[in-house]
Structure 1
Amino acid sequence: MIRLAANLSMLFNEYGFLDRFAAAANAGFKGVEYLFPYAFSPEALRQALQECQLEQVLFNLPPGDWEAGERGLASLPGRESEFRYSVVEALRYAEALNCPRVHAMAGLLPAGADDATQAEHHATYVRNLRFAAGEAAKVGREILIEPINTRDMPGFFLSRQAQAMAVIKEVGAENLKLQFDLYHCQIMDGDLIRHLERQFSAIGHIQVAGVPERHEPDVGEVHYPAIFDRLRALGYRGWIGCEYRPRAETHTGLGWGEPWGLTSH
C-alpha cells in the first residue's frame, strides 16, 4: 500500500503553516512531515493533527543556526552538547505528536576539509548517532539519517548511499534507519531501484520529488510509477514523503497522486 505524506515545509505554502494541515487533509493526504516543529508548541501542532485526522510521520532535529546556513549538528566536532540537547528536544516533540521517527541532519564539512578533518567529523557523527539512537530507543522512536546531494547542499557531510549504509552498520543500533530520498539518490548515485532493493531492510522512510528541478514527481528523469510498483512488490509499509517544490499552486499539481488517493483541482 502506498501511503503519501505531505511535506508542509514545501507544499501548501499558499497558506499559513497551521492552515496547511487542513489543506493537506482536504487533498487526500493522511500523513504530514516538515522540516522543524519548534516555532510552535507541541499542543498547537497536536491540535492541528487531531482536527484534521492526520498522522505526524517525520520531522528533523534542531539543525543549529539554520538562518546562518547551518544544516545539522550530528557530525560537528565541538558541538556535542548542543546536539545532545537537540535530541532531547526532538524526542519531547516526537512523544507529544506521536511521531515515530526523527531525522538527525549530519551538518556541513568546512570548505577544503582534509582527510583528517573528515575523519574527525565521521568519528563525531558515529558517537552522536549512538547517543541519539540510545535515547530514542528509550521512548520507542527511530533516528534517521539521510544522504543529501551536494549540488543543493554543498559540503553536506553525508551525501552517498554507501556512506550512509556504512555508518548505520558501524553505529550498530537497530533503531537507526535510512531516510531514502529518491531525489537526492538519483542526483548522487542513480540506479534507484537497485539501491532500493539492496538497502530495503535499513529503510525507515522514503521521500520523492522530480529530478532535476525538484518539482512534482510526474516530471523529470525518474519514472515514479515503476518505483512505487517495486515498493509494493517488496512489501513496503512505511510512508512516502512528498518533499517537492510545486510548479504552481499546490492543489493544481496533485494530479500525479490521484492513483494513490490524492485530489487536485
Structure 2
Amino acid sequence: MNKPTSSSPFTLAVCAEMIFLDLPMLERIQRINEHGFQVEIWDWTKHDIDALANSGATFSSMTGYITGTLAGAAGADELLITAAESVEVAKRLDIPRLNLHGTGLNSEGLPVQPCQRITGAMWLKACDTLNRLADLGEQHGVTFVLENLNTDVDHPGVPFARLEDVLALVESVDRPSLRIMLDVYHAQIGEGNLIELIRRCGPYIGEVQVADVPGRCEPGTGEINYPAIAKVLNDIGYRGTVGLEGWASGDDDLALDRFRAAFSL
C-alpha cells in the first residue's frame, strides 16, 4: 500500500529506470514504493512481469509499444500490433497509461527511423494511427499518451517531438483514450514558455513528467521554477499524476524528497 504523498494535490510517481541504479529492478521498485510513490517503467519486454505483478507496487505508466512508428504505413501497422501486446501486459500490472513517441526509439533514445521533415501526408497518417490507438484504448479501458521529446539534446531526429506538435495531434483526434504525456524537461529544452504551454495543454494532459535542466536530475537542481509549475498545474485543476523521470543528482533518497517537496502545495 502506498504511503500518502504529503500535501500534494497530485499523484506522484517515480521512474524506476532512472533511480536506485545500483539495485536490481525489483528492489528499485520496492524502494520507490516504500517512499510512497507510484512506479513508471519503460520497455516491458526487459522485465519479469510476474515479479512486477507481485511486487506490491502501484504502476503509473509504461511504454505502450515495442516497435513501429506513427506516420508510415507498415510502421503504423507494426505499432498497432505491438501496442495490443503492450495492452495485455498493462492489464496484468493494472497500468492505466501507455506511452507513445513519434517513432520507435533504440536503447540510447535515438529514433529507429530518423526524420528531419514532417510532410502533410505524415500528419494525416499520424492522426489515423492515433485514432486506431484510441480505438484500442477504449476497447481495453486504458489511455495512450503521446510524449513530447527534445531533439536538441536527447532525441535528435524524432518526428512530432515538440509539444506544439503533440498538442496539435491530440487535439485533432480529440478522444479521451488519447492524451498528452507532458514532459516538462523536454519542453524546456525544445520550446520554453512552460507556463503558457501547460495552460494550453491543460484539457488534454494525461500525465506530467518532470526533471530539471540541465542534467535531467530532480527538481531544484537546475533552471526550471518547479514551484511555479506545480502552482499552474494546480490552478488549471490538474489532479493527475506527476512523475519524476530524471536521475538523482546525488543521494537517491534525497532526490525523491526534493521531488515530493517541489509538488507539495
Pick the TM interval, shorter chain.
0.7 to 0.9
Instruction: Report the counterpart of residue 140 of structure 1 in structure 2.
Output: 141
CA distances 1:14-40 after superposition (whole Å, capped 9, x unpaired): 2101111111122332x1112122223
Q: Does 1:12 align with 2:20?
A: yes
Deviation of the 1:243 alpha carbon: 0.3
Instruction: Report the counterpart of residue 71 of structure 2 in structure 1.
Output: 75
CA distances 1:200-219 after superposition (whole Å, capped 9, x unpaired): 01000000001121111111
Runs of 4+ residues over 6 Å off in structure 1:
none
Instruction: Report the counterpart of residue 67 of structure 1 in structure 2.
Output: none
Letter in 2 for 1:199: C
Letter in 2 for 1:82: E
Instruction: Report the counterpart of residue 97 of structure 2 in structure 1.
Output: 101
Distance in 2 between the 1:150 and 1:256 partners? 27
On the 8 A contact 1:150/1:156 being kept in 2, the answer is yes
Deviation of the 1:111 alpha carbon: 5.4
Q: Does 1:36 align with 2:43?
A: yes
On the 8 A contact 2:62/2:97 being kept in 1, the answer is yes
Which 5+ residue runs of structure 1 have no aligned equivalent?
65-71
Distance in 1 between the 2:72 and 2:251 partners? 38
Q: Does 1:55 align with 2:58?
A: yes
Q: Identify the range of structure 1 (90-99 vs 163-172) with the bigger mean alpha-carbon deviation.
A: 163-172
For 1:210, which of 212, 219, 222 is the aligned residue?
212
Shift of the 111–57 alpha-carbon distance from structure 1 to 2, 3 Å rule, reads closer
Deviation of the 1:41 alpha carbon: 4.3
On the 8 A contact 1:109/1:157 being kept in 2, the answer is no
How many residues align? The count is 248
On the 8 A contact 2:114/2:159 being kept in 1, the answer is no
For 1:86, which of 82, 96, 110 is the aligned residue?
82
CA distances 1:32-58 after superposition (whole Å, capped 9, x unpaired): 11212222343221101x2xxx32110
Q: Give the aligned CA root-mean-square deviation in angstroms.
A: 2.2
On the 8 A contact 1:143/1:177 being kept in 2, the answer is yes
On the 8 A contact 1:146/1:158 being kept in 2, the answer is no
Which 5+ residue runs of structure 2 have no aligned equivalent?
1-8, 104-110
Instruction: Report the counterpart of residue 24 of structure 1 in structure 2.
Output: 32
What TM-score do the two structures reach when normalised by structure 1? 0.85
Distance in 2 between the 1:241 and 1:111 partners? 27
Distance in 2 between the 1:177 and 1:142 partners? 7
Letter in 1 for 2:78: E
Distance in 2 between the 1:46 and 1:176 partners? 25
Q: Does 1:46 align with 2:53?
A: yes
Deviation of the 1:234 alpha carbon: 2.4
